[in-house]
Structure formats: C-alpha cells, structure tokens
Amino acid sequence: MAEKSAYASWEASAREVERIARDRSLPLWEKAHRVGTAYTTIELEGLRSKHRHKIFRHIAEVNVILQKYMPESFEEYQQMDEADLKALVALFRAMGPGK
C-alpha cells in the first residue's frame, strides 16, 4: 500500500536532485556524485510497485555507467568521462515522480 510519507520523501529527493543539477557553482563531476546521495532517503517500501520499479530501472542504468570506473572515493568522479557524468545526472533527474 502506498504511503504519503514515501511519496513525500521521493518528491523531496527529486527536488534536491534538481537543486544540485542546476547549481552553477558545482563542477559536473561533483554534481554527478551528489545527485546519487539525494536518493538515499527514499522510503521505497511505501511506494507502489510500478514506482519502485522505475527507480530500480534507473539505478540499474547508473550501475552500468559506474561499473566502468568503480569509483571508491569522491575524488575519483573527477576522472570520469564528461558524457558519463552528464548521463548520471540525467538518470537521477529522470528518477523523480512525474518524469
């Protein structure tokens, strides 16, 4: 059963991703690292199945990109290809409700 608090946390995470993605003071590599942390607080168990699957599909795509690099630290994002960094940010932006 869907819970209001789960959807509120999903929406809050999506707003945070947008804030990070639009922050012109952050370099792209830092945006790519930070957008992922915005989704760490989602209450997945409270979302409907189709919404959980949407998030899982995007996470799987993120993992395909990260497997090329296997970053173990914040600084290692600086070594990633620009196209991959942009793709990571785009995937997290697309993970929000209504996207």
**Cα separation, 8 vs 61, whole angstroms:** 24
- φ, ψ for residue 23 (rounded to 5)? -70, 105
- φ, ψ for residue 3 (rounded to 5)? -120, 140
| Single pTM value for the model | 0.91
**Cα separation, 52 vs 45, whole angstroms:** 8
Assign residue 98 a region (left: φ > 0; alpha: ψ between -120 and 50; beta: otherwise). left
Domain ranges of the chain: 4-94
Q: Please list the pLDDT of the chain residue by residue as tens digits (99 residues).
A: 569 999 999 999 999 999 999 999 999 999 999 999 999 989 899 999 999 999 999 999 999 999 999 988 878 889 999 999 999 999 999 999 986
Position 68 scores a pLDDT of 93
- Give the residue among 10, 14, 9, 21 at the shortest CA–CA distance from 89: 21
Position 2 scores a pLDDT of 67
